[in-house]
Amino acid sequence: MKLIVGLGNPGPGYVRHRHNVGFVAADAIARRHDFGPWRPRFEGLVADGALAGEKTVLLKPTTYMNESGRAVAAATHFYKIEPKDVIVIHDEVDLVPAKLRVKRGGGAAGHNGLRSIDAHIGPDYWRVRIGVGHPGDKDLVPRYVLHDFAKADLAWLEPMIGAIADHITLLAGGKEADFMNRVALTLNPPTHKPAPAKD
């Protein structure tokens, strides 16, 4: 069984914020793979479905970002899910926009949602890191992530979210490298040079 967590803050005022990209991805996965309706549970919203032939629960914590670990811990304890079967999707200021990285374990790197999850279940879970760019000064990061994506960002954000939803089955099935490659190819499709003209 898998638990996929999209991080964000609840409420209409946060919907388009960079910090809420995990919520956006979770919604897209639910639509793409015909998950059941969202319902309140575990201090969050959950939707049930299957990926790669395995029961999967999507979770959007509604505790606000700093307490995301409470919802994740409640879900993992109820379903008896190990951290290695948890996938957390979140914004990453240390990656440039339109970059995606997947890793298991590691530090929170100043991300309050990850810090909270680490405190509740430990660090040994998968992270899908969606690059949103850095404002250039660490003191500006809180305001930057709690602000809407720029209109120019939609050119890469919408295709990336679509690619994550399309190919999440690969990651759920343990093929993280294939997942990253498919997302990268969606955003940067190969260009075919025309064959040279023959004399």
77 flagged as catalytic: no
Question: What is the C-alpha to C-alpha distance for residues 4 and 26, in angstroms, rounded to an integer?
Answer: 8
Q: Which of 168, 162, 166, 164 is nearest to 54 (CA)?
A: 168
Structure tokens at 108: 């929170």
Phi, psi torsion values for 159, nearest 5 degrees = -60, -40
Do 146 and 64 touch, CB atoms closer than 8 A? no
Q: Which regions of the chain does DSSP assign to beta strands (E)?
A: 2-6, 39-41, 44-51, 54-61, 86-92, 100-104, 126-131
Which among 19, 33, 111, 167 is annotated as catalytic? 19
Neighbouring residues of 141: CB distance < 8 A, sequence distance ≥ 6: 93, 110, 134, 135
- What is d(CA 69, CA 186) in angstroms, rounded to the nearest whole number? 32
**Residues catalogued as catalytic:** 19
